[in-house]
Structure 1
Amino acid sequence: MDYVLKTNAISKKYKDFKALDGLTMNVPKGSIYGFVGRNGAGKTTLIRTICGLQPPTDGTFELYGVKNTDSAISDTRKRMGAVVETPSIYPYLTAKQNLEIQHKIMGVPSLKSTDALLELVGLKDTGKKKAKDFSLGMRQRLGIAVALCGNPDFLVLDEPINGLDPQGIIEMRELILKLNREKHITILISSHILDELSKIATHYGFINGGQLIREMSAEELENECRKCVRMKVTDTSVLARTLDGMGIEYKIIDNETADVFASPNITKLAFSLWEEKCEILSVSEHDESLESFFISLVGGGSNE
């Protein structure tokens, strides 16, 4: 598998505080990579580091196979666009003027691409309206248009839906999917709004306390979070043996609890268990959300 970004034990220390602690992650080419963590977990620190806004204290990373210690990393970063923390826009200029200035800064032609970018992000009809009068969602989309001025094939978005209203969230989701599917841009999105992220991400990295605690594909996450029947019994070893005999998939949670990934004949199952002196205590449907899965990974509490 080809990777756009690979980090190798990246650490970032501020005096006695470690914002990143040996973080290793891999962002596949063509993916929408959901970088999941609470506020203060280290998401923005990692993004600022790979964008070259601050150096790592320890460890290395690669963009398209070029190490951050290589002199060629500056040219490689031209393949990357980013919106970090807040969109970098000029509030007293129009959307078109913002893009024209960004093209001039980057030294690239803007005649055709400016109008195309405005149409791409849904801002082609904003005319002479200044950016300061845009809604938050419009400013976020303008920030993405600015990040796309250099025609990057890797886009990094730091909490792009934070603070948006429901309509703004839908528009942002549709834009991200369009950039990925139609423009073939690999996208890294940091977010703590997990259920929304689950609608677009193809891969996930879960960060807590500056460490990457789990990395997985959307398919793997779906298997972890799929619907099941949660059963409480007096002896899960008996339940396991019985389900094996019935050819039913399951997962033992503890001595009394198991998730059964099918809809067994409860009467038949109860009778089989009763024959081996095992009682069913309760049966309920269970569907773990991305949020509850994340909590199960990191536990309760807060990073702040």
Structure 2
Amino acid sequence: MEYVLKTKNICKQYKRSKALDGLTMNVPKGSIYGFVGRNGAGKTTLIRIVCGMQLPTSGEFELYGVKDSDGGICNSRRRIGSVIETPSIYTDMTAEDNLRQQYQVLGLPDFSGIPELLKLVGLGDTGRKKVRNFSLGMRQRLGIAVALCGSPDFLVLDEPVNGLDPEGIVEVRELILKLNRERKITVLISSHILDELSKLATHYGFINNGRIIREMSAEELEASCRKCMRLTVTDTAVLSTVLDRMGIDFKINDENSADIYAKPNITQLSLALANEGCEVLSLEEHDESLESFYISLIGGADHA
């Protein structure tokens, strides 16, 4: 597998605290990588280091196969577009003028691509409207447009939907999916809004106390958080025997409930249990959310 970003044992020590503690992660090319962690876990610090805004205390990373100690790392960083913490935009200017300003900063002489870029992020009809009159969602999309100046193929977004209303969240989500699917841009998204990430991410890195505690694909996460039928009965010992006989995968939770990882014929199952003197008390669909999965990971990490 080809990786856009690989970090190895990155540490960042401040005077009295350690923001990163041997962080190792791998962002596959073409992925939407969900960088998951609570506030203060080290997400923004890592992003700042990768983007060249801070230096690590120790450790190393590679960007498109170029080590951070190599002089060519500057060229690799030109392939990154980023929105870190808040969008870098001028509120007393129009959306078009903001992009013109960024083009000039990057030394891009031709402004002809600006209308298409504004249309891409859904701001093509804002005209002479000043950014100070934009909604938060519009400002976030403009920030992404600024990050896209220079045609990067790696987009780094730090909490891109934080503070947005539901409509703004949907707009930003659809934009990120469009950039990834149509323009093949690899996206690294740091967030603590886990349910929203689950609608986007193809890969995940879970961070806690400055280190990655687990990396996995969306498919692996779905398998870990797989849907099931939660069955409450009078005797799970009998239930276990019947389910084994039927060849159904299950997990016993306690003496009265079990999770069944299949959709059995309920009538047949109820009759089989009744013949063994076991009564079905309730049946409901159940699945572990990304949030509860993360909490279980953090709980394990904190008590390791």
Q: What TM-score do the two structures reach when normalised by structure 2?
A: 0.89
CA contact (8 A) 2:64 2:76 kept: yes
**Aligned-pair CA distance for 1:132:** 1.9
**Aligned-pair CA distance for 1:202:** 0.9
Q: Partner residue of 2:24?
A: 24
Q: CA distance change for structure 1 residues 129 and 295 in 2, over 3 Å: closer, same or farther? A: same
**Aligned-pair CA distance for 1:98:** 1.0
Report Cα offsets for 1:87-139 as digits up to 9, x if no partner: 01122211111111111111123321111111111111111122222111111
Whether 1:148 aligns to 2:148 is: yes
The DSSP-based 3-state class of the residue aligned with 2:152 is coil
Report Cα offsets for 1:232-269 as digits up to 9, x if no partner: 67997876565344221234567876422013356765
Alignment of 1:156-175 (within 5 A): 156-175=156-175
**Aligned-pair CA distance for 1:279:** 8.7
Q: CA distance change for structure 1 residues 54 and 233 in 2, over 3 Å: closer, same or farther? A: farther
Q: Partner residue of 1:44?
A: 44
Q: Partner residue of 1:249?
A: 249
d(CA) in 2 for partners of 1:87, 1:257: 49
**Aligned-pair CA distance for 1:299:** 3.1
Whether 1:136 aligns to 2:136 is: yes
Q: Partner residue of 2:214?
A: 214
CA contact (8 A) 1:100 1:110 kept: no
Whether 1:56 aligns to 2:61 is: no
Alignment of 1:1-304 (within 5 A): 1-231=1-231, 242-251=242-251, 258-265=258-265, 283-299=283-299
The DSSP-based 3-state class of the residue aligned with 2:149 is coil
Please tell me the residue identity of whatever aligns with 1:248.
Answer: I
Report Cα offsets for 1:125-170 as digits up to 9, x if no partner: 1111222221111111111111111100000000111111111111
d(CA) in 2 for partners of 1:270, 1:143: 57
Number of residue pairs matched by the alignment: 301
Please tell me the residue identity of whatever aligns with 1:143.
Answer: G
Q: CA distance change for structure 1 residues 279 and 212 in 2, over 3 Å: closer, same or farther? A: farther
Q: CA distance change for structure 1 residues 257 and 118 in 2, over 3 Å: closer, same or farther? A: same
**Aligned-pair CA distance for 1:271:** 7.6
Task: Specify every segment of 5 or more residues in structure 1 that has no aligned partner in the other structure, as ranges.
Answer: none
Task: Specify every segment of 5 or more residues in structure 2 that has no aligned partner in the other structure, as ranges.
Answer: none
Q: What TM-score do the two structures reach when normalised by structure 1?
A: 0.89
After superposing the two structures, state which structure 1 stretch, 150-159 or 15-24, moved more.
Answer: 15-24
**Aligned-pair CA distance for 1:230:** 2.9
d(CA) in 2 for partners of 1:278, 1:207: 44
Please tell me the residue identity of whatever aligns with 1:289.
Answer: S
CA contact (8 A) 1:35 1:43 kept: yes
The DSSP-based 3-state class of the residue aligned with 2:183 is coil
Please tell me the residue identity of whatever aligns with 1:15.
Answer: K
Please tell me the residue identity of whatever aligns with 2:95.
Answer: A
**Aligned-pair CA distance for 1:52:** 0.8
Percent identical pairs in the alignment equals: 69
CA contact (8 A) 2:103 2:111 kept: no
d(CA) in 1 for partners of 2:59, 2:259: 40
d(CA) in 2 for partners of 1:107, 1:248: 63
After superposing the two structures, state which structure 1 stretch, 56-65 or 255-264, moved more.
Answer: 255-264
The DSSP-based 3-state class of the residue aligned with 1:299 is helix
Q: CA distance change for structure 1 residues 149 and 284 in 2, over 3 Å: closer, same or farther? A: same
d(CA) in 2 for partners of 1:157, 1:254: 43
